């Protein structure tokens, strides 16, 4: 085997509650996604909400058998806060307790280690109505929810995550208008980002006091590449990195915010509101491991025009994105494919973040109208095999060079519902017939089964 991975490498995939369970299956409180879909116009869902999705709620046994078939030894799911505690705080839903408990047991019975994430974009509407992450009360409710989850499942789940991509609700909900509550306001965005990390650190603190497994966070890291080495481009790229990577990476792994970020926000009068004890909280409660979601890099250049000083403050004041000539694209999702990015991230973690234990917690290729590639009843997704192997080669090189990388998870196990495109882009190892619920392995699934069996590939 040419690309042999370290022993015990985690081969698996990732998914989230909202995207696979079906919020109308079983008893559940509403999340912002149900609320947005049902009550307010939105331009994203193609008229299809998160009600049914891929019906994992009813079909998890079959799905877990399928995971086993393709060699998964780990699987990341998220709990739905609104399912477990429908009001966000208060009474626990016993039906949800049995559901998650059964899923966890079923995974363990198949020798698949469950990685459990507490929050994947799915704020309970009751909590959003109290101010979402802008509110300290909501932080307290989230910490209580985490404690309940640890009490219920901590005996069997030894790898936990506080958040998936915490910057996405900030960007989507408070800066660029693609998530509920559709606010565009950098001051509030910064407060939300900050409070998310406070909530995170409080949960890490509690976990370390009471439990004996590992706890981490999943961040979508987008390496920031400057157009040129001239100072203006370098500066633009640096600021972009501060806003979109280091605003979460540094507090999570180093326990403090980058000084450059603090002084930039200070200079523009946009520091968040803090409490005196926050600093020590962050400092003393860093993660045990880091999940890295990697889809695409950022190509950054200095701004062509200075921003209008009377326009409201935005991160985009400091840089422009540009389309690098000759870049490779996934034409379906409109995202650049740059495999080496995965290596650059890992080297950065090795050299600047204490070589923290990490793994690729999401990487994947969304494709529209995948039925075009059906042959004899199976989707021949050679492009996905190329995509995965292209990234794995660079990940292998990183591991060879001493990066502490422990695994690779595809986004996602089976086609599911998505935040901004419902079912348009398909990502799974298994295709799902949305009408009948039938699952069929794609070609990449059998390829991946071989990879995990051999712990590598040629
Ligand atoms: C990540 C999210 C996932 C997922 C994926 C693919 O950012 O963690 O939830 O959906 O991106 O993105 P999309 O579904 O928008 O194509």
pLDDT digits (tens, 9 = 90+) for 63-88: 999 999 999 999 999 999 999 999 99
pLDDT higher than 90, residue 307: no
CA of residue 180 to ligand 1 center, whole Å: 16
pLDDT at 196: 98
Decide whether any atom of ligand 1 lies within 6 Å of the 425 Cβ. yes
The full length of the chain comes to 458
pLDDT at 235: 98
Q: What mean pLDDT is predicted for residues 194-221? A: 98
Q: Which residue has the tokens 């005996």?
A: 155
For all residues of the chain together, what is the average pLDDT?
97
Superfamily the domain 3-457 falls into? Glycosidases (3.20.20.80)
To which H or E segment does residue 441 belong? strand 439-441
Q: Terminus-to-terminus CA distance in the chain, angstroms?
A: 5
pLDDT at 43: 74
- Comparing 33-47, 259-273, 375-389, which segment has the lowest mean pLDDT? 33-47
Extents of the domains making up the chain: 3-457
pLDDT at 46: 76
Q: What mean pLDDT is predicted for residues 111-119? A: 99
pLDDT higher than 80, residue 250: yes
Q: What mean pLDDT is predicted for residues 177-196? A: 97
CA of residue 368 to ligand 1 center, whole Å: 14
pLDDT higher than 80, residue 128: yes
C-beta of residue 7 within 8 angstroms of C-beta of residue 156: no
pLDDT at 331: 87
Decide whether any atom of ligand 1 lies within 6 Å of the 444 Cβ. no
Calculate what percentage of the chain has a pLDDT beyond 90: 95
Looking at the CA of residue 425, tell me the nearest atom of ligand 1: 16
Q: Give the C-alpha separation, 142 to 163, whole Å.
A: 11
pLDDT higher than 80, residue 276: yes
Strand 329-330 with 335-336, pairing: antiparallel
Q: Give the C-alpha separation, 391 to 444, whole Å.
A: 14
Decide whether any atom of ligand 1 lies within 6 Å of the 232 Cβ. no
Q: What mean pLDDT is predicted for residues 219-226? A: 98
CA of residue 360 to ligand 1 center, whole Å: 14
Catalytic residue annotation: 165, 362
pTM exceeds 0.80, yes or no: yes
Q: What mean pLDDT is predicted for residues 229-240? A: 98
pLDDT at 455: 98
pLDDT at 332: 85
- Residue located nearest, by CA, to atom 12 of ligand 1: 418
Cα–chain-centroid distance for residue 304?
32
At residue 375 the predicted structure's pLDDT band, cuts being 50, 70 and 90, is very high
- Residue located nearest, by CA, to atom 2 of ligand 1: 165
C-beta of residue 406 within 8 angstroms of C-beta of residue 359: yes
DSSP annotation of 157 reads -
- Comparing 46-50, 130-134, 225-229, 332-336, which segment has the lowest mean pLDDT? 46-50
pLDDT digits (tens, 9 = 90+) for 408-437: 999 999 999 999 889 999 999 999 998 999
Q: What mean pLDDT is predicted for residues 230-249? A: 98
pLDDT at 45: 78
Q: What mean pLDDT is predicted for residues 245-261? A: 98
Decide whether any atom of ligand 1 lies within 6 Å of the 18 Cβ. no
Strand 113-117 with 159-164, pairing: parallel
Q: What mean pLDDT is predicted for residues 351-373? A: 97
Decide whether any atom of ligand 1 lies within 6 Å of the 250 Cβ. no
C-beta of residue 233 within 8 angstroms of C-beta of residue 315: no
Q: What mean pLDDT is predicted for residues 225-247? A: 98
């Amino acid at each position: 085997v040419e690309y042999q991975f370290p022993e015990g490498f985690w081969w698996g995939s990732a998914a989230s509650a909202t995207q696979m369970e079906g919020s109308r299956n079983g008893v559940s409180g509403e999340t912002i996604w149900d609320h947005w879909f049902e009550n307010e116009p939105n331009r994203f869902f193609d008229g299809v909400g998160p009600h049914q999705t891929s019906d994992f709620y009813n079909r998890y046994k079959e799905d877990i058998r399928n995971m086993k078939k393709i060699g998964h030894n780990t699987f990341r799911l998220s709990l739905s806060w609104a399912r477990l505690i429908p009001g966000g705080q208060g009474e626990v839903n016993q039906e949800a307790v049995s559901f998650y408990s059964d899923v966890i047991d079923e995974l363990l019975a198949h020798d698949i280690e469950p990685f459990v994430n507490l929050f994947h974009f799915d704020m309970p509407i009751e909590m959003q109505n109290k101010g979402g992450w802008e509110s300290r009360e909501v932080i307290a409710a989230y910490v209580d929810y985490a404690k309940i989850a640890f009490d219920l499942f901590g005996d069997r789940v030894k790898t936990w995550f506080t958040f998936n991509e915490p910057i996405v609700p900030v960007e989507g909900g408070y800066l660029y208008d693609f998530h509920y509550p559709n606010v565009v306001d950098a001051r509030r965005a910064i407060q939300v980002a900050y409070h998310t990390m406070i909530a995170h650190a409080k949960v890490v603190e509690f976990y370390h006091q009471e439990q004996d497994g590992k706890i981490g966070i999943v961040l979508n890291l987008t390496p920031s590449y400057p157009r040129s080495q001239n100072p203006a481009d370098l500066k633009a790229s640096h600021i972009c990195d501060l806003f979109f990577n280091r605003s979460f990476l540094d507090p999570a792994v180093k326990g403090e915010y980058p000084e450059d970020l603090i002084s930039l926000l200070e200079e523009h009068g946009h520091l968040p509101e803090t409490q005196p004890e926050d600093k020590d909280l962050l400092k003393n409660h860093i993660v045990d491991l880091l999940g890295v979601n990697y889809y695409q890099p950022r190509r950054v250049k200095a701004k062509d025009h200075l921003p209008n000083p009377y326009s409201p403050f935005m991160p985009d004041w400091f840089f422009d994105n540009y389309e690098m000539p000759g870049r490779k694209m996934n034409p379906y999702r409109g995202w650049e494919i740059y495999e080496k990015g995965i290596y650059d991230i890992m080297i950065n973690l090795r050299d600047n973040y204490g070589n923290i234990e990490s793994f690729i917690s999401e990487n994947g290729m969304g494709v529209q109208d995948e039925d075009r590639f059906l042959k004899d009843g199976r989707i021949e997704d050679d492009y996905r095999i190329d995509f995965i192997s292209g990234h794995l080669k660079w990940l292998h090189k990183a591991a060879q060079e001493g990066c502490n990388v422990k695994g690779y998870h595809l986004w996602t196990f089976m086609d599911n519902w998505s935040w901004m495109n419902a079912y348009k882009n398909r990502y799974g190892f298994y295709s799902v017939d949305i009408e009948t619920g039938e699952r069929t392995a794609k070609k990449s699934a059998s390829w991946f089964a071989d990879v995990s069996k051999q712990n590598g590939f040629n």
